[in-house]
Amino acid sequence: MKIFLQCLPCFARQAVESAEMSTDDPEMKEKIIRAALRKASEIPFDKSPPHMGKEIHRIIKDLLGDIDPYRDLKNLYNKKALDLYPRMKEIVSSADDPLKTAARLAIAGNIIDFGVSVTNNHFRLMEVIDDTLKRPFAIDQYQEFKLDMRNAKKILYAGDNAGEIVFDRILIEEIPEFKQKVIYAVKGSPVLNDVTIEDARDTGLAEIVKVIENGSDAPGTILEECSDQFLNAYNEADIVIGKGQGNYETLSEFCEKCYYLLKVKCPVLARDLKVGVGDIVLKKQEPFS
Amino acid sequence: MKIFLQCLPCFARQAVESAEMSTDDPEMKEKIIRAALRKASEIPFDKSPPHMGKEIHRIIKDLLGDIDPYRDLKNLYNKKALDLYPRMKEIVSSADDPLKTAARLAIAGNIIDFGVSVTNNHFRLMEVIDDTLKRPFAIDQYQEFKLDMRNAKKILYAGDNAGEIVFDRILIEEIPEFKQKVIYAVKGSPVLNDVTIEDARDTGLAEIVKVIENGSDAPGTILEECSDQFLNAYNEADIVIGKGQGNYETLSEFCEKCYYLLKVKCPVLARDLKVGVGDIVLKKQEPFS
């Protein structure tokens, strides 16, 4: 998905929020935001929105060094999500279709996204879960998904955010032979609240499946910036699961074997997917013409 | 009020909305928005937020010539407000304190502000009015206001937006000897949906009080950019009424004789005034120390 004009206010908001998260120094905040706005004024519109998230993070890195400003929040959300893990396992095990319920829970986890807005800090997690369990899919390709999860030999799961990773684990554990089939990819270095290798270790996911870094610092999966290790796994996979908005935005024009699981959080994406803001989506990539 | 970091996403949104209003040409929209973001990246933080609105408008003027992209919307909102005029007059005349009710209505009119968000297009006007008539003031200096309205010899009323001007008229008509005392100031040229001389004529306000242009193209009252005619009226006035957020933002550090009537539409202003978003305010300028 390309950058639309309507993405630009969101980039400015992301710059302000990231600056606020990264430093208490007002002058430094100002520097970050001014540099981000300059970058936004030049960003090519044939890129996808996560390019801008990456640029903001690089500006912060240039000015403040190799920091991980969202680390404490990521730890907090991992912990909150882990607290809910036993309850989510119960919900799944008592469901008529555990894989489908697990897919819904994985989408519920997609709410935890400071990239979209830090005001989401204040959501009540169980309410989000209950809502997502009841809400009909706006795009529902679950039947194909179920079949492909059974038949695929290798599945690459491109993770999204910290906290959310625990919800991803719930889904992964319902995929037949997940220990053999699934590789989970985290970001190559910290960007926003995106999942890193530390989160995969802290939440126990690294103990149940192979976890690799994608080699990139973008809040999505920009293939040309990913490592050979990631690209090998990507090429060898029969199915790729692109989790969350950032992965959809970066992969939807390139990945022929992708499924996207996400909650639609912005009007630009809603228009692209022809659904509403707040809708939940389990979508298979359409064939490229 | 100075520009805060949190204003910058709002500037970007305003640039996108103004570009969308001004042209159908995608390349031209892009040019406008890129130029606005560049300007936003350089804007001095000791200016007030309406400086940026002015800059966006100047960019559009440079690129597209001397257009008034909000003209049709302004006409529409003038008409909608004029349709309600008889009903508002009835509400005022049957009120216990007609001046206070008229002040509330003037604030209700402050909802009509595309500068804050075009999604406000879709509000239902009578609901806004009913809500504003019932809502307690978060800052209530009406008693002083009432006294000053009676005692002042010359009152300068700095207008805000089209449509809203009809609500201003309702208030003006309750000020004792308004025909002799009140001068209403409109913007010197079109900017956003701000009120211009055309709106004062179309809504009949120009027939009941003297109307002057302020000589500036800012969505507020930036004194150093105002005409001599406006500054004379400003200096001669005993009381200035600054209507709406833009006038508060530009006058609150300079105008010792101001009253501000507004609905609080953004968290930055809410913090400055120590009230909540959505609150209504009738505030007298505190003495400068």
The predicted complex's ipTM stands at 0.85
What's this model's pTM, rounded to 2 decimal places? 0.88
Find out whether A31 and A64 touch, Cβ atoms under 8 Å: no
What pLDDT is attached to residue B111? 80
Nearest CA in chain A to B34: A41
Among B5, B12, B41, select the one facing A8 at the smallest CB separation: B12
SS3 category, B44 = coil
Q: Dihedral, CA atoms, A168, A173, A176, A177, nearest 10 degrees?
A: 110
Q: Find out whether B285 and B257 touch, Cβ atoms under 8 Å.
A: yes
**What average pLDDT does this structure show over B98-113?**
90
B137 three-state secondary structure: strand
Residue A184: strand, helix, or coil: strand
> Of B41, B46, B119, B271, which to mutate for an interface test with A (greatest number of A Cβ within 10 Å)?
B41
Task: Write down the residue that tokens 């995608």 correspond to.
Answer: B26
Q: Which amino acid type is present at position A191?
A: V
Mapping DSSP to helix (H, G, I), strand (E, B) and coil, where does residue A178 land?
Answer: helix
- Interface check for B11 against chain A (CB to CB < 8 A): the answer is yes
Classify each residue of B127-140 as buried b or exposed e, where b means 16 or more C-beta atoms within 10 Å of its C-beta: ebbeebeeeebbbe
Residue B117 has pLDDT above 60, yes or no: no
Which residue of chain A comes nearest to B11, CA vs CA?
A9
CB atoms within 10 A of CB B276: 11
Of B61, B42, B65, the closest CA to residue B52 belongs to B42
Predicted pLDDT of residue A113: 60
Q: What pLDDT sits at residue B227?
A: 98
Query: B4 to chain A: which residues are within 8 Å by CB?
Result: none
- Which of B20, B40, B45 is opposite residue A37, by nearest beta carbon? B40
In this predicted structure, the answer to whether residue B124 has a pLDDT above a threshold of 80 is no
Whole-angstrom Cα distance, residue B22 to residue B28?
9
Instruction: Please give the pLDDT value at position B119.
Output: 44
Nearest-angstrom CA–CA distance, A273 and A36: 28
A28 close contact with B: CB closer than 8 A: no
Smallest Cβ–Cβ distance between A5 and the set B29, B41, B45 belongs to: B29
Q: What is the mean pLDDT of chain B?
A: 93
Q: What local confidence, expressed as pLDDT, does residue A122 receive?
A: 45
Query: In this model, does residue B197 exceed pLDDT 60?
Result: yes
Return d(Cα B236, Cα B238) in angstroms, integer: 7
| Maximum distance among all Cα pairs of chain A, rounded to whole angstroms | 56
Nearest residue to A126 via CA among A180, A157, A84 = A84
Chain B touched by A267 (CB under 8 Å): no
**Any chain B CB within 8 A of the CB of A112?**
no
**How crowded is the C-beta side of B28, counted as CA atoms within 13 Å?**
15
Query: Least CA distance to A14: which residue of chain B?
Result: B9
Please say whether the beta carbons of B90 and B263 come within 8 A: no
- Sheet containing B210-213: give its strands across: B137-140, B280-284, B258-263, B239-243, B155-158, B182-186, B210-213
State the count of interchain CB pairs (< 8 A) between A and B. 60
From chain B, the residues in CB contact with A8 under 8 A are 12, 15-16, 33, 37
pLDDT at residue B113 in the model: 60
Q: Using the beta-carbon criterion (under 8 Å), do A38 and B35 form an inter-chain contact? A: no
Hey, of A5, A16, A119, which one would you mutate to test binding to chain B, going by the most B CBs within 10 A of its CB? A5
* For residue B118, pLDDT beyond 80: no
Residue ranges, chain A, pLDDT below 50: 114-122
pLDDT (0 to 100) of residue B127: 81
Q: Does B153 touch chain A (CB under 8 A)?
A: no
Reading the block at residue A289, the tokens are: 């013409």
The reply to whether B10 touches chain A by the CB within 8 Å rule is: yes
Residue B43 backbone dihedrals phi, psi, to 5 degrees: -65, 130
Nearest to A69 by CA among A21, A112, A16, A14: A21
